[in-house]
Amino acid sequence: MLTGLVLAGGKSSRMGQDKALLPYLGGTLLDHARQLLLQCGCDTVMVSRNQFGFIRDLVPEAGPLGGIHSALARLKYSDELLILPVDMPFMQPGMLNLLVRTGRKLTLPCHYEESHLPLYLPVSQKVVSYLNRLLGKKGQGSVHQMLGYLNSHSLPCPMPEQLCNLNTPTDWQQAMTG
Q: For residue 2, name the pLDDT band (cuts at 50, 70, 90).
A: very high
pLDDT tier for residue 24 given thresholds of 50, 70 and 90? confident
115-122/44-48 β-pairing: unpaired
Q: Is the pLDDT of residue 145 over 70?
A: yes
116 vs 23, which has greater pLDDT? 116
CA distance linking residue 19 with residue 17, whole number of Å: 6
Give the per-residue pLDDT at 58. Answer: 87
Q: Count the domains in the chain.
A: 1
Q: Which long-range contacts (CB under 8 A, 24 or more apart) does 105-108 make?
A: 106/153, 108/150, 108/151, 108/152, 108/153
Distance CA 25, CA 135 (A): 36
CA dihedral 92, 145, 67, 11 (to 10 degrees): -90
Q: Which domain holds residue 159?
A: 2-177
Q: What is the pLDDT of residue 167?
A: 82
Residue 57's CATH number: 3.90.550.10
pLDDT digits (tens, 9 = 90+) for 44-73: 999 999 888 899 988 888 889 999 999 999
